[in-house]
Structure 1
Amino acid sequence: MIRFNEAIDQALVESITTYGQAVEQTRKTVLGVLGHDLRTPLSAVTLGVDLLSKSEEPGTRRHRIIAQIATSAKAANLMVSDLLDLARCNLGTGIPVRPESTDLTAVCKAVVDELAVAHPNAQIIFTDEEAVTGQYDPSRMAQVFSNLIGNAVRHGNAHQPIHVTVSGDGSTARFSVLNHGTPIPASALPSLFSPEGRYSKHSGEEQGTSSGLGLGLFIATQIVEGHGGTVAVESTLERGTTFSVSLPVYP
């Protein structure tokens, strides 16, 4: 009887484990399919908004409504892209990186200029010593810069500037973004780059269409690691919060 009970217990454990693995695999697959299928209707919305925008006079009420729809559609597209990147990581394929000869300084400056237009009240100070070139995926690195600087804009003190720097010494490229605001608790740092344990979902600071899915830090880390680099963070009340990226330079 004892052996029979042990066999039943073992069978139950194996069944629960198998079921859990099947559910997890289904969840990952559904995320990927959902993200992929959402792109088609969102593309239609974006195209329609672009056509309507050209037919309306700037400054009119209809034009303002169309602009709001365009902003929401862009935010939705970004969330779908994040969802697809998460699905790729979950399914083991990883975020694709296609290196080519790239000037990281120019890529970062373009991102800073874009964010400055989107957030006119933010003070973003960009410091570059010289062109930092190497083999990188320009669109993916722009995604890293946008995620980290955008994160600083959302969570930093609006009355203090955000400092962005890009530098290199021939063997290593470095990027950093510093903002002042409420420091990240030490207890949150170990899980900060994990999609399951992100700090912002507990802070309640992200609201509206700009909140996204909270995957920015996770995706940025995956892209940097795909280039052979690392991401680090330091956060104190006195020195502020600094996210640093180090990348090897491949000529």
Structure 2
Amino acid sequence: MGGSFLEQVTGRAGLLDASPLDLVDPDLGGHTRDHDDGFEALDAALCGIRDTINLGIDALNQAGLGLRKLPEGSLEELLVMPLTGDYRRIRQNAIATGQFRDALGTYADNATVLSIAVEPRWGGLAAASFLLRVNGHALVARGLGMLVAEAAPLFELVADHSERLAIEVEELVMELLERGERVVRKLLSRVAGPAGWAAFAAELAIKGFDAVTDIVDDIERVLWIIDRLLEMKGEVTAWVEEQRQRLTLLLDLVDLVRRDLDGGGGGGSG
């Protein structure tokens, strides 16, 4: 018995065939803001600068200054990944909700077409029950698609906030690098020669901290930037939790509708 189901039911070849559900993997979201082109090269350079600065901090602390050392770990591990999230992946979720909405719209159209095709060739209570069920599926599917699509603006909001945060992090890290390089240059100029760090410590013991005020100021600024970045992590965690709760409420509604679409509604069993 050839032909599609609708061809068999209606006798009209191809006229009411169902539309295909093309639900492909969504593209990865892109950048929507300008980023610093040189940021990707910072990580390795910053690690080297950090190690040199920590040597200088050791020398200053031996003289009694009591500065904190810069933290270990790569820039990506410490700051960028925990703070910003993957905003391109978040935007991909927004794209996916639109595609899912469109697919459910197609499903609803197909269900409606099916009810139109069946109606003139079937009567009685069984037909009425079937048509009620099919049209109910169409309405629920369309509503579910619209409901899921409501998450897209929220995903875009989270992604935009994430990318703006990433740019702020990049700017702070750029300053971190500039300050760090300056401290390294000053430290290396002080420790040049055979005596090295020992001579630097001796100079501090003789002249006091007035001789290294500029170095101390830069180190304190570097520490402030690091503190600010770590502080931002807590702020972002709280903000993301708020958005997660909004998404959870939406997903709870979606789950209720899906249960009906999957057969949790009326219609009974045959």
TM-score bin, normalised by smaller chain: 0.3 to 0.5
More helix by share: 2
Q: Using CA pairs under 8 Å that are at least 6 residues apart, name the structure with larger relative contact order, 1 or 2.
A: 2
- Higher-Rg structure is 2
